[in-house]
Amino acid sequence: MIIAALLHIVALAHADLTLLSCNACSGIIANVVISTRYLGERFDPKYDLAGLSLIGVGCMMIVLLSNKEK
């Protein structure tokens, strides 16, 4: 995780921030799936679905409102 965080910091100067934000959102969603499946954490729909839906809507808004011109 430390290596991934450092690579994200290095990539900030070279990559599109829209791609990095979507990558971070998918990482959060993957962490929820991994923690419930392999670590035995309980998936609480009251909090987890609300959080995941906010993350998904935020990622969608970033993509839709991004500057499409080069």
Which of the given ranges, 3-12, 21-30, 40-49, has the highest pLDDT on average? 40-49
**What confidence tens digit (pLDDT) does each residue in 8-35 have?**
788 778 878 788 788 888 889 999 999 9
Predicted local confidence at residue 23, as pLDDT: 84
pLDDT at 70 over 80: no
Contacts of 25 (CB under 8 A, 6+ apart): 55, 56, 58, 59
Is the pTM here over 0.75, yes or no?
A: no
Q: What average pLDDT score do residues 32-48 get?
A: 92
Q: Which residue has the tokens 């998936």?
A: 43
